[in-house]
Structure 1
Amino acid sequence: MTLAWVTWIPIGLFVLIAATFITSYSIAVGLGHVNAFLPYISDTGTLPPESCIFGQFLNIAGFITCILAYIRYLQIRELNNRFRFTKCVQKLNRWGIWAGFLTGLGISMVGNFQETNDIAMHLVGANLAFGVGTIYFCIQCAISYKTVPITCNKLLCHFRLVLSIYCIIGYFGVFTFAYLSFNAKPGSIEDNLKWTSDMPGFGYHLASTIMEWLLALAFITYILTVTPEFRYIGIREPQVEVLISDEILARITPPNQSK
């Protein structure tokens, strides 16, 4: 039985992540936990009650990301069996699935380890999500170019290339400007949830947050680009074989009784 929902996995992930950020931002601003003008995404999900929604939704998003990466791996592997791509594609595909799994883990860690509770683990998760996620997108971009026109057309490849380049720039930009802003305005994370234009380092902070929101937008847009390719994937129900031991059979089968 072919499951038609495969096509909706990237669409659902796009909507889920976007809804998570919008919901947590709206609650955080509404309760006065952050200023409305371009806070960090993590700032909008670090205090309760928005942190509960932020963590729960990102847990689900991380899991779906792993599913998407696995299906993409199986897709390229199956196409390789039919069309015999280069060995480079095979290697990229193997690296890609591990990068995809680590990205999903990073997304979950960002939601579970809020910056005000455990900043070190939060940063590990952020680097896995954004850093390894960027590597995953670059790998998929390379695979796309090497499998044209079987998987996608060149226009989509060029679009993915643009997104990948920005992800690289955005990843380094976010952390570089964040480092400069916190050096200019030392203090705890709680003290730096609300930034105003008169604070030292505000320009660096603003550059960092703008690049982070654009980076998140690039990420979910990239995820959405695999939708056309997933239209041609069918997944069948797994075959389950039930094994019954002789010991169990002996329990349910009464022994022959002689008269």
Structure 2
Amino acid sequence: MDGKKCSVWMFLPLVFTLFTSAGLWIVYFIAVEDDKILPLNSAERKPGVKHAPYISIAGDDPPASCVFSQVMNMAAFLALVVAVLRFIQLKPKVLNPWLNISGLVALCLASFGMTLLGNFQLTNDEEIHNVGTSLTFGFGTLTCWIQAALTLKVNIKNEGRRVGIPRVILSASITLCVVLYFILMAQSIHMYAARVQWGLVMCFLSYFGTFAVEFRHYRYEIVCSEYQENFLSFSESLSEASEYQTDQV
């Protein structure tokens, strides 16, 4: 990959993936160190002995809860930025805008769910926390399928199949994890449910990292200028993603 032909915006999805992954694992290790949860590699827990290593339980008590809140708020913000940039990127390339709009709305709702997860800990307000979980996992899964379909349909730089097929596989894995997670939860098989939950979240984050492939072809600009009668409006000045030309330095 030639760095001169890659936009710096490709690093945004990668930063989101790496930052959020690292932050969640820091929360996990803090909770394990404080004896709040069992390690993921523990055998099936006995009743009344610590907690299964669910992410929400790991981030339920300070100091882990402080880190968890910060990580989820930052992740929600970065996911929202990715959602808007992805929408702008695909806007001039899709004939029917509804799928693109649906992807934007779904990811925005998933981002809102992340803020609920981070700011309303499980023991403080379980109902709101569970709403956040449902929004994040539900609309997050929907987002993955929508973006996989858009990837194959738009086929940016003839990379649609190369990127779309892994996204379909990740979307299927995420869907399977969601179903399996709730089945295990319903049967109170908590250690396995917690492991599936961690796998689910890592699949989500890996999926977001794949947007770097398409973002590397685009740049985004906001034009700020003194107001004039015949000047473009702000909405018109917000340039849509423009593709890098092969001869661009």
Aligned to 1:41: 55
**152-161 or 128-137, larger mean C-alpha shift:** 152-161
Is residue 21 of structure 1 aligned with residue 24 of structure 2? yes
Q: Unaligned regions of 5+ residues in structure 1, if any?
A: 182-203, 244-259
Out of 104, 107, 111, the position equivalent to 2:114 is 107
Out of 182, 202, 219, the position equivalent to 1:217 is 202
Tell whether the 8 Å contact from 1:66 to 1:101 is kept in structure 2 after alignment: yes
What residue identity is the alignment partner of 1:36? P
Q: Unaligned regions of 5+ residues in structure 2, if any?
A: 1-5, 42-52, 229-249
Aligned to 1:134: 141
Tell whether the 8 Å contact from 1:42 to 1:115 is kept in structure 2 after alignment: yes
Give the distance between the partners of 2:173 and 2:132, measured in 1 at CA: 20
**153-162 or 135-144, larger mean C-alpha shift:** 153-162
Give the distance between the partners of 1:60 and 1:151, measured in 2 at CA: 33
Give the distance between the partners of 1:26 and 1:206, measured in 2 at CA: 16
Superposed CA offset, 1:65-108 (max 9, x none)? 00000000000013x2xxxx442xx2110111001111111111
Is residue 9 of structure 1 aligned with residue 12 of structure 2? yes
Is residue 66 of structure 1 aligned with residue 80 of structure 2? yes
Note closer, same or farther for the CA distance 1:151–1:54 as it changes in structure 2 (3 Å cut).
Answer: farther
Superposed CA offset, 1:175-210 (max 9, x none)? 2321321xxxxxxxxxxxxxxxxxxxxxx2123112
Tell whether the 8 Å contact from 1:151 to 1:229 is kept in structure 2 after alignment: no
Q: In percent, how many aligned pairs have the same letter?
A: 30
Give the distance between the partners of 1:19 and 1:240, measured in 2 at CA: 39
Is residue 207 of structure 1 aligned with residue 221 of structure 2? no
CA shift, 1:54, in A, is 0.5
Aligned to 2:47: none
Note closer, same or farther for the CA distance 1:128–1:241 as it changes in structure 2 (3 Å cut).
Answer: farther
CA shift, 1:173, in A, is 1.9
Aligned to 1:250: none
Over the residues paired in the alignment, what is the CA RMSD in angstroms?
Answer: 1.8
TM-score scaled by structure 1?
A: 0.77
What residue identity is the alignment partner of 2:216? R
Tell whether the 8 Å contact from 2:40 to 2:195 is kept in structure 1 after alignment: no
Superposed CA offset, 1:210-248 (max 9, x none)? 2111111110110011101001111123324459xxxxx
Three-state SS of the structure 1 residue aligned to 2:218 is coil
Aligned to 2:220: 235
Aligned to 1:50: 64
CA shift, 1:27, in A, is 0.7
Aligned to 1:95: 102
What residue identity is the alignment partner of 2:64? E
Give the distance between the partners of 1:116 and 1:77, measured in 2 at CA: 42
Tell whether the 8 Å contact from 1:144 to 1:151 is kept in structure 2 after alignment: no
* Structure 1 moving runs of 4+ over 3 Å: 240-243
Note closer, same or farther for the CA distance 1:47–1:175 as it changes in structure 2 (3 Å cut).
Answer: same
Out of 109, 119, 125, the position equivalent to 2:126 is 119
Give the distance between the partners of 2:87 and 2:213, measured in 1 at CA: 16
Note closer, same or farther for the CA distance 1:241–1:179 as it changes in structure 2 (3 Å cut).
Answer: farther
